[in-house]
Amino acid sequence: MSSLLSLVSAVPSGRPRPVLLDHRDYATAVIRQGAPVPWTDLAALTGHIQQVHALLDPDTTWIDGGALYAAHLATHPEIVEQMGSRSRTGYPLRVLLADDAGVERVVRTARTLAEACRRPLVVSVPSPAVWLGRAHALTGHSLPGIDEIAADTASMYLAEWLGKLGALPVALIVLDARTSPGDPVVEVPERLGALSAVTNVAAHFEWSVAVRRDSGVEVEGVAVGVVPDGFWAGAADLPDGDALLATIPASATPERVLDQLAALG
């Protein structure tokens, strides 16, 4: 398997630094002209991601695990019903991540996209605490806040889930700790040092793990710079770092985006 460190040493695109591209919003606006990403249609999804790669040439294939699970639940309401059968803290997330059909969909989708695009995978999922809160909210058993004990329990459920993805060519697991309006308050900020259950599983498969926050990205062994949104309008410089994590805004001008991608090398 390939870690982020090995990606830095051999950048697939030939750029000076690998670009880890979260392209969902921009690709939806520009390539799909506002139509939703076809998460439940693997052939259509593969075609869409191949279009993204042909246009933007990212160094990894970005898998949005949160969006993939949301699509899965929309077609399997019985799982949400099962998630809500108990109100105990953590139970909805435990049921969600233990669902064999959900795991199989993630593995099949990720493997197909990796083979089609010939790039290592970045698997982005909500961080343990954030996913815990959102799983509860789906069932109506919402949580006012998430403490350290609850977050630690959620990280163990996530670690067990990651263990089922071991055959995939993953370079990086991104735990997205950014919250949205309506998310419960996470009382203790999530940091890599407190996520040993997750990092131990990742180390076994030789994957890297990052925690993504509004303030930046925390990852061991590699410095990852977050590209500011203004870069895509030519109004900001690139950050330092061995690798770059970039999100292209949906409002970005396509011609300018191509110019700025060319500026990356």
Q: Crossing angle for the helix pair 196-204 and 148-162, nearest 10 degrees?
A: 20
For 91, the enclosing helix (H) or strand (E) is helix 91-98
- pLDDT given for residue 1 in this prediction: 45
Which one-letter DSSP state was computed for residue 183? Answer: P
- Model pTM score: 0.95
Would you call 262 helix, strand, or coil by DSSP?
A: helix
Q: Are strands 185-186 and 208-213 parallel, antiparallel or unpaired?
A: unpaired
CATH 3.40.50 fits 4-263, yes or no: no
Is the pLDDT at 141 greater than 90, yes or no? Answer: no
- pLDDT given for residue 2 in this prediction: 64
Q: Crossing angle for the helix pair 100-117 and 65-75, nearest 10 degrees?
A: 130
Q: Residue 135: which of 193, 168, 197, 86 has the closest Cα?
A: 86
Q: How far apart are CA 130 and CA 17, in angstroms?
A: 30
Question: Residues 227, 110, 137, 150: what is their CA dihedral angle, to the nearest 10 degrees?
Answer: -80
pLDDT in tens, 179-198: 988 888 898 889 999 999 99
Q: Crossing angle for the helix pair 91-98 and 100-117, nearest 10 degrees?
A: 60
- pLDDT given for residue 83 in this prediction: 97
Domain ranges of the chain: 4-263
Is the pLDDT at 261 greater than 60, yes or no? Answer: yes
pLDDT in tens, 222-241: 999 999 999 999 999 999 99
